[in-house]
Structure 1
Amino acid sequence: MHRATRSVRLIVLCLAAMLLPGCGVERSTPRPDHDLKQTVALCPGVNVSGPGDPAGAGRVAKFYRALAEPVYKAACADDAGRLAHLIDTGSAGAQHFESNACQGCNGGEIVAMWRDDYRLDLAELARLLETPPRWSQGGPAYIRGNRLATFSRGWMGVPAFWSAFYPDCQAEEDCELASELATSP
């Protein structure tokens, strides 16, 4: 009798586990390509079109597409770790990455600040990079509402890099100045 009771309990536990959301054969974890297809549909691509190159097909546009695309893809995928890595390993590193105040922060701390202090959904960074950039001698600046992201063309042996992202431009004087310069004719 004791053996039968244990077997019944085991069967009941197995059946209960199968009824839990996400459990069982019918509700298995989505295939990796499932998420990729959804991301592709929601993320049409970084925009590098600009004056004199409306299709974004020129040499300069290709250069900046290669630079901005990893940032865009990480933001679309909500991959905070990848964004932090891009900040830390960029030509200038986290110590020269411009953002809202975060003294001595590494890339992970900067991205955490965007999420925690500014309630930024990383998809908002991707949407920003879908807008047409404003071009300056230093590189493209993306401005949308109160947000600004810039990419630097590099200089004197320093390769091009993702140079700044401000989730709240009004809170930083440097961001407001960069925004004004990017929007002036």
Structure 2
Amino acid sequence: MVDYLMKRPEVISDKIALMGISLGGYLAPRAAAYEHRLAACIANDGLFSFQVGTIAAGLSGKAGGKFDLSLPESEDFISSIMAKDTGIRWGIENGQFTFSAANLEELVHKTEPFTLEGVAEQIQCPVLVCEAEHDHAFAGQPERLYNALKGPKTYMKFTAEDSAEEHCHFGALKLANHRIFTWLDQVLNRD
């Protein structure tokens, strides 16, 4: 993609930025770790890991661990959460669709490699890591990504006071875009 953009006459080749939204908050930083021609990277919202087993462990109160699907109570726990929380149900069902996983166990297996452990520190361009205050499914993920970065970085938290506390700041997209693009303008126009 960057090779193509650099050939376009309307593109300023030293000001190419990459923004990832939702799962893109994992994918964009991963790409930036290996594509050093980027001038900036935006992770909206930042994800350090999209390992479904680790996310499920966090939901069950076992943060930092792995979710053991071989235990019968594990499947029951996930089913009970899905029955009560449409967001979790959608996330799991959409994950199964996106990753072509026949069931939750296969989804956990397919997302195991989705971590920026040992990768995030390779990013050289400035990174903006966004966090939504009430993004419960990914709580703590933006901070983990931010802490793993070794290069120039900015942490931007969106709150209920801003009406931007939900995942990717739905409810206040104009405000979020204004703040994000103000940061990008400052980064790209440093001289």
TM exceeding 0.5 = no
**TM-score, normalised by the number of residues in structure 1:** 0.26
Query: Which fold has the larger relative contact order, with Cα–Cα distance below 8 Å and residues 6 or more apart in sequence?
Result: 2
**TM-score, normalised by the number of residues in structure 2:** 0.25
